[in-house]
Chains A and B, each alone.
Chain A
Amino acid sequence: MKDRSLTSGLKLENVSHSYGNVAVLKDLNIVVKPNEIVVLVGPSGCGKTTILNLLSGHIEPVSGAITRAGIIRTVYQQDGLFPWLTVAENISMGLRSANNGATHGSELVELIELIRLEGFENHYPHELSGGMRQRVELARVLAGDSDILLMDEPFSALDYQSRLRMRHELIRLLTKRPRTVVFVTHDIEEAAQLADRVLVLSNRPATICRELEIKAQKPRKLSDVSVISAMEEILHELGLDTPEDNNLQRMSI
């Protein structure tokens, strides 16, 4: 197995991007260390997904440099699985580089066990729940030689309870198969529970307005002090800490 601490990493240097006349990102500098989970949060439309598209190479920046070391895979919000392939076939896409049939077979079995979907190998995505589908996506991106996972609000289409479960699931999977992760979310709870480092982005054109390191051990409970204080800081940074109170005060004046 390759040593990912040497091979994986991402770096954005002075990256700016715009769509036509609309500037989306401005002089962004981000370094993602090997096996680190960096979570990007920010106001809606601030350019979070653009950053992922730049990191994956789907788009090129207007200016600045991007360094990508390692094999990158993306987990999409939903419908990223090929509906005409079974669970096993979808996961096997991630093992395409494994030429040896025996290795491929044993790895596939291990991945299906890892996401606890034994017995569902021959099911099609439309026969699974939203949470199960996202678990298959996770198995697919973790398969084989991947180094870096880009996650674009992967749990946002799920109901609240499934989202909570999937956060624990992700941490469990990453403990067994460490990867470098850049995770985009609008869910502050999710950010505080998952991140080694949270980058809070400003409104468009996005810059990093706060970098927050969370050192507490994972998995983290929602009631953990570290999670609560991280959430408070992120909310404060986004100007969402007590908006109702402020409004009430203003109204009473």
Chain B
Amino acid sequence: MPVVVLFGVILAWSLISYLNLFPAYAFPSPGSVVMSFREEIVAGRLLNDIVASLWRVAVGFVISVLLGVPLGLWLGQHLKARQAFVPMLNFFRFLSPLAWIPFAILWFHIGDKPAVFLIFMATFFPLALATLVAVATIPSIYFRVAQDYHYKGMELLTKVTFPAVLPQIITALRVSYGIAWVVIVAAEMVGCQDGLGYGIWEARNGLRLDSAVCYMIVIGLLGMGIDRLLAQLTKLPGIRWGYER
């Protein structure tokens, strides 16, 4: 069925383009996009932009996970700290990461850093919040059992608390990765000299919307592909339980 839908979309696209409902420069045909793909691949620009974007998302996202998940684990276990920090975390979560663009450029100038910073700002707060909510709602019976079998301190954290919330953390990873992938395009439109977002911006400046569409297709496919990879984590033996009840 997805293949049928795909063909339907391409058919509608071809039809609109064939009927010239919009001027060719504003509505590139499938054929011109294919040509543009070839051009970008031969020139090596597309591959370079893919690597640049993936690198920035990976760095920003990994920093977010390394800081956000432990913070969420800690806040989830400490009611007072949670009550103190949650309003602030929520405030920043609702702040569009794009609002940070002027700061990102002023603080980090151009290159990878502003984009990495924006990815971090976009993903850190939802990840920390999702983790703390998951920890705060762990069924109390797990902690009683842990007490019966003398799990304490670090062992309690690594062998009970963390595995108990791992399925929810993975769901949070998928959601925040989705945000990161959306934000990288906007982040690279300013302050970067390469990357998929920059590619679209360049195409727009040169009025080459066929090239922009080619980049949009790559962004969509890469986003789906990486989400598929993250989804594989839900099938791991010690995690699957969280998705089967």
Contact = CB atoms under 8 A, between A and B. Distances in A.
Interface of A: 56, 58, 72-74, 76, 79-80, 82-86, 93-94, 96, 124-126
B238 A126 contact: no
Contacts of A79: 139, 141
B45 interface: no
A86 B238 CA distance: 8
B182 to A, nearest CB: 32
Contacts of B164: 82, 84
A125 B241 contact: yes
Interface residues of B, number: 21
Nearest to B147: A58
Contacts of B240: 124, 126
Contacts of A56: 148
A76 B147 CA distance: 13
B11 interface: no
Contacts of B238: 84-85
Nearest to A56: B148
29 contacts: A58-B144, A58-B147, A72-B148, A73-B149, A74-B145, A74-B148, A76-B141, A76-B145, A79-B139, A79-B141, A80-B145, A82-B142, A82-B145, A82-B160, A82-B163, A82-B164, A83-B241, A83-B242, A83-B245, A84-B164, A84-B239, A84-B241, A85-B163, A96-B150, A124-B237, A124-B240, A124-B241, A126-B240, A126-B245
Contacts of A83: 241-242, 245
Most chain A C-beta atoms within 10 Å of own C-beta, residue among B145, B238, B240 = B145
B194 to A, nearest CB: 42
A126 B141 contact: no
Contacts of B150: 96
A81 B237 CA distance: 16
B100 to A, nearest CB: 37
Contacts of A58: 144, 147
A83 B168 CA distance: 14
Given A84-B163, A96-B149, A74 B144 contact: yes
B166 interface: yes
* A-B interface, 5 closest residue pairs, ranked by CB to CB distance from nearest: A83-B241, A84-B163, A84-B238, A93-B149, A126-B241
Contacts of A85: 163, 238
A73 B164 CA distance: 21
Interface in B212-245: 237-242, 244-245
B243 to A, nearest CB: 10
Contacts of A94: 149
A251 B23 CA distance: 89
A83 to B, nearest CB: 4
Nearest to A89: B238
A93 B151 CA distance: 10
A125 B238 CA distance: 11
Interface in B96-149: 139, 141-142, 144-145, 147-149
B204 to A, nearest CB: 48
Nearest to B242: A83
Nearest to B155: A96
A80 B147 CA distance: 12
Contacts of A126: 240-241, 244-245
B89 to A, nearest CB: 27
Given A125-B241, A126-B244, A73 B148 contact: yes
A86 B141 CA distance: 18
Contacts of B147: 58
A160 B166 CA distance: 35
Contacts of B160: 82
A86 B166 CA distance: 16
Nearest to B167: A84
Contacts of B148: 56, 72-74
Interface in B141-188: 141-142, 144-145, 147-150, 160, 163-164, 166
Contacts of A82: 142, 145, 160, 163-164
Nearest to A137: B145
Interface string B19-54: 000000000000000000000000000000000000
B241 to A, nearest CB: 4
A82 B238 CA distance: 10
